[in-house]
Structures are given as C-alpha cells and as structure tokens.
Amino acid sequence: MANARSGVAVNDECMLKFGELQSKRLHRFLTFKMDDKFKEIVVDQVGDRATSYEDFTNSLPENDCRYAIYDFDFVTAEDVQKSRIFYILWSPSSAKVKSKMLYASSNQKFKSGLNGIQVELQATDASEISLDEIKDRAR
C-alpha cells in the first residue's frame, strides 16, 4: 500500500519480519530502507538474537537514513527482566536532503503499521542512540 504523503509503498516482508521480532522474538533488530527509486520500503538488515547493541548501531549507515526496530532487554532496579521495542528514525545530518525528506514524510505511515512499539526515537547522530540513552528511555 502506498504512503499517501510520499507515495512510498511498504513491502509485505517488513510487517512479517516485525511480527517475528515482536511475537516470536526471532530477531534482535531490524533495519528498513527505501529502494533505489524511493518507491518502496524494504527490509535492509535483520540481526539475530545474539547480536549486540554495538553491532546494531554499527549497521546504521553514516550517510543515509533508515527506519530501525530494536528489541532491548534489561533488568529493572527491582531485578525484574523486561524488554522494550524501540522504533528509531535514523536521519544523520550527512544524509542527502531528498532522502531525509522522503524518510520524514513516510515515517508516520510506516510507523503506524507497526503495532507494539513502546519507545520512539529520532536520531541524527550516534550520541542520540547511545546505549546509555537507550537504557534511560527504556525505564
């Protein structure tokens, strides 16, 4: 289905992989990108459950935008194991203007199809998605 604002469609595999992360806990993270013609959002990378947070942040390109989902496991101050699903709009300052505009205009429509997101972030550099920042936002 095409996005009314930007005309960018969402590939069915995006929702399938998100469902596998959310309900079956098969993946640690997912990244999504627009195809070369900016016509469709597709799955970019899938990180398995053993993947570290550093591996996830290293997977984000320095000069291009991405939508990302990260399943963050943590232990509360009361020693309770919890998990939060993060949605991140990665839009680095060095990305091309066209890319930043299309990702921003397609963001709401894409995100609305992902039921179960618990924390949302927009990041323009690595400091905004540091592990400390993720830990603070998870609580």
* Domains in the chain: boundaries: 9-138
Does position 82 have pLDDT exceeding 50, yes or no? yes
DSSP code for 46: E
- Report yes or no: 14 and 41 within 8 Å, Cβ to Cβ: yes
Question: Model pTM?
Answer: 0.93
What tens digit of pLDDT does each residue of 44-57 get? 999 999 999 999 99
The pLDDT of 74-94, averaged and rounded, is: 95
Q: How far apart are CA 7 and CA 67, in angstroms?
A: 17
CATH of domain 9-138: 3.40.20.10
Q: DSSP per residue over 49-101, as a string?
A: TT--HHHHHHHS-SSS-EEEEEEEEEE-TTS-EEEEEEEEEE--TTS-HHHHH
Give the pLDDT band (50/70/90) at residue 134.
very high
Average pLDDT along the chain? 94
- Report yes or no: 26 and 49 within 8 Å, Cβ to Cβ: yes
